[in-house]
Chains A and B, each alone.
Chain A
Amino acid sequence: MKILNLKSILFISFVLIFLNNNNFFKKFYLVLTQDYSYRFSKAYIANYFSGYCEKEGHGYIHAIKEKYNINTSPKIINFDNKRRKIPYWIFYNKFSKIDDQQVILLNYNKKNNFDFDKFLIVDNKSNKCFYLIRKNNGTN
């Protein structure tokens, strides 16, 4: 009986340590109370290679997808000085399926060369990230 108690105490201790190390209760609560989009943005804001409207811009791209209910990936241009991956996968399309009538700009600044006249600005985040739709008479 004594051994059984010792075993049980050991077992419960290890389980509690594991749950605590993984912040299980906090994560459980947040999965219960926050929706996927919010968690997605938060996760990528905390990510070293990404952020909301910086680096790879996962947060902004996902927010645009949700806000405008976009199913096909717009063309994404990242003006960051560093070479960045373009996360087209956020739209859950095949790699080859890109709608170039719509454009998402990331990390834009005035020194960058981009012709806004051909596009309608649908969304603007701090003059740095944009969601644009090509005007009907616009050309490539």
Chain B
Amino acid sequence: MELISILLQLTVFVLFFSIGFPINKAQVNNLNNRSKFLEQLIFNIFIQLNLLLVLSFFNISIKLIFSIYLSYLLISLVYLIKINSIKSFFIFKNKLLYYFAYSLCLVIFIDIAYSLTLEWDSQKFWIYKTLNFYNDGTIQSLNNLPPGDGANYPYLGSLLWSLFWKFSFIPDEYSGRLLYGFLYIISLLAITEKLNTSIVYKMIFLVVFVSLSYQYRYFGGDQDILIFILIAFLSVVTHDIYKASTKKVSNLQIILLILICNSLIWTKPEGTVYAFIMISIISLFFKIEFIKKFYLFSSVSLLFILQILLYKYYGLNVGINPCCWTDFSVNSIISKISIERILVISQYFFYSLFKSPFFILGLICLISSIFVKNLIKNFFYIYFFIIINFSFIFTAYILSDLNLVFMLKNGIDRLFYGSSPIYLLIFVEYYNSQKFKN
């Protein structure tokens, strides 16, 4: 019976995220094209995640949020029927890759349903945020959570967890976490779709990417998996913009980028850092119209300000995690910068970095690409992201006030994991530059 419920849960995810207003009318009758269908699917996902998030800003319970969400889905569905394109959304010609991806979701779901344990951070912070929403609490009632580290963290992941738990066929908390499994597979599918190769090879690469990156501990309620998912989508959209930079970048791509950045801002504090790193790189180095860069940068900045204002309005604290960073005085900062600390951080830094399969894959492709003419230039913006990301991680640890080794042992792996999908872009570029037999 539980297995049937798990299957039904997967069906719900597929149906819900397949429904949405067509991103452009010309595309409506073209959804049998696999990549167009993926564009629509990603767009639906981010419209829906942001809709749920925005509804929570109005201090309403998830019962009401879910009712409005269902109404949105219903209106979209009626619209799709009206314009006679419902078939294109649900009949998947040429979509073997999607069926395969959904099967992989099922494998992940079974693992989550079997393994069940919640991770340390999850038991300390995230589950109580989830329970707040699950028990009809609102953004304001987050104030009732125990004070201390993490109590005021952003909450998108917990909101989704609670919603898809409360309105699911399974009464237990893990049902909400199944959504992470679904989004994880779709995010890797989105990267796989960028490979210029046959469908069978795409399926092979998808299963390899999942094999390299899947570990249950990332699905135990911690939010690093959501960062991973969002960075994967962000990488795909950024890659598309980079490729299209000589042509015209569509407004849709900019909107999607803004929606992904907003999701990052509301997931974890480092999500905000990643969002700003990426939009800064796009603004500085990409050849797109100035007005679009302006819209992008100002929108994400405004969304970040909105988060601060909302937190202040509801009496929540948006400051940096007080467990680990307390003293930012010049004297304290200077005292923290020591050779000994730098060596300790470097040791854990490189050890964790070389434990990341995606980083090793990216590094191999990067070294190999030295011998391919002009290819290395294509990674230009990725280098910047990686260098700024590494600097951010290094700075965060050097400025920490908690026991450094304890923090490194428990956090640095997850930080690298969250940002690792970007290394796959190096692989994608390298693979596409080679003329493999397909």
Name A's B-contacting residues (CB within 8 A).
3-4, 7-8, 10-11, 14-15, 17-19, 21-22, 24, 27-28, 30-32, 35-36, 39-40, 43-44, 47, 49-50, 85, 87, 89, 92-97
* Contact for B110 among A3, A10, A24, A40, CB less than 8 A: A24
CB of B307 within 8 Å of the partner chain = no
9-residue interface stretch from B69-77, B187-195, B206-214, B322-330: B206-214
* B123 close to A85 (CB less than 8 A): yes
* B146 close to A85 (CB less than 8 A): no
Max chain B Cβ within 10 angstroms of own Cβ: one of A7, A22, A96: A22
**Which parts of B126-185 form the interface with A (CB within 8 Å)?**
127-128, 131-132, 134-135, 137, 141, 144-146, 172-173
* A96 close to B144 (CB less than 8 A): yes
* A15 close to B207 (CB less than 8 A): yes
Q: A14-B208, A30-B114 are in contact. Are A95 and B146 (CB under 8 A)?
A: yes
Query: Which residues from B are CB-within-8-Å of A18?
Result: 107, 207, 210-211
* B207 close to A14 (CB less than 8 A): yes
Chain A's closest residue to B208 (CB) is A14
CB of B115 within 8 Å of the partner chain = yes
Q: How far is the CB of A30 from chain B (nearest CB, A)?
A: 6
* Contact for A43 among B6, B117, B127, B437, CB less than 8 A: B117
Query: Which residues from A are CB-within-8-Å of B113?
Result: 27, 31, 39
Max chain A Cβ within 10 angstroms of own Cβ: one of B116, B137, B144: B116
Q: A11-B204, A18-B210, A36-B172 are in contact. Are A92 and B116 (CB under 8 A)?
A: no
* Contact for A22 among B107, B116, B120, CB less than 8 A: B107
Q: A21-B211, A31-B2, A47-B117 are in contact. Are A14 and B204 (CB under 8 A)?
A: yes
In the docked arrangement, what's the CA distance between A4 and B199, Å? 11
Q: How far is the CB of A65 from chain B (nearest CB, A)?
A: 12
Query: Which residues from A are CB-within-8-Å of B146?
Result: 95
Q: A15-B207, A21-B211, A85-B123 are in contact. Are A40 and B131 (CB under 8 A)?
A: no
Chain B's closest residue to A17 (CB) is B211
* A89 close to B116 (CB less than 8 A): no
Query: Which residues from A are CB-within-8-Å of B124?
Result: 85
CB of B201 within 8 Å of the partner chain = yes
Query: Which residues from B are CB-within-8-Å of A47?
Result: 117
In the docked arrangement, what's the CA distance between A43 and B111, Å? 12
CB of B3 within 8 Å of the partner chain = yes
Query: Which residues from B are CB-within-8-Å of A94?
Result: 128, 131-132, 135, 137, 141, 144
Query: Which residues from B are CB-within-8-Å of A40?
Result: 116
Q: How far is the CB of B383 from chain A (nearest CB, A)?
A: 30
CB of B200 within 8 Å of the partner chain = yes
* B123 close to A92 (CB less than 8 A): no
Q: Which 5 A-B pairs have the closest CB atoms?
A: A27-B114, A43-B116, A7-B200, A89-B127, A95-B128
Complex A-B: 15 CB contacts under 8 Å: A3-B437, A11-B207, A18-B207, A18-B211, A24-B107, A24-B110, A24-B111, A27-B114, A32-B2, A39-B116, A43-B117, A89-B123, A89-B173, A94-B131, A95-B144
Query: Which residues from B are CB-within-8-Å of A50?
Result: 117
Query: Which residues from A are CB-within-8-Å of B201?
Result: 7
Chain B's closest residue to A97 (CB) is B135
Chain A's closest residue to B127 (CB) is A89
Q: How far is the CB of B5 from chain A (nearest CB, A)?
A: 11
Q: A3-B437, A95-B144 are in contact. Are A39 and B114 (CB under 8 A)?
A: yes
Q: A31-B3, A36-B2, A85-B123 are in contact. Are A93 and B114 (CB under 8 A)?
A: no
Q: How far is the CB of B50 from chain A (nearest CB, A)?
A: 26
* A22 close to B131 (CB less than 8 A): no
In the docked arrangement, what's the CA distance between A60 and B154, Å? 32
* Contact for B204 among A10, A24, A92, CB less than 8 A: A10
Chain B's closest residue to A50 (CB) is B117
* A44 close to B200 (CB less than 8 A): no
**Which parts of B76-130 form the interface with A (CB within 8 Å)?**
107, 110-111, 113-118, 120, 123-124, 127-128
Query: Which residues from A are CB-within-8-Å of B123?
Result: 85, 87, 89
* A92 close to B173 (CB less than 8 A): yes
In the docked arrangement, what's the CA distance between A10 and B211, Å? 15
Q: How far is the CB of B114 from chain A (nearest CB, A)?
A: 4
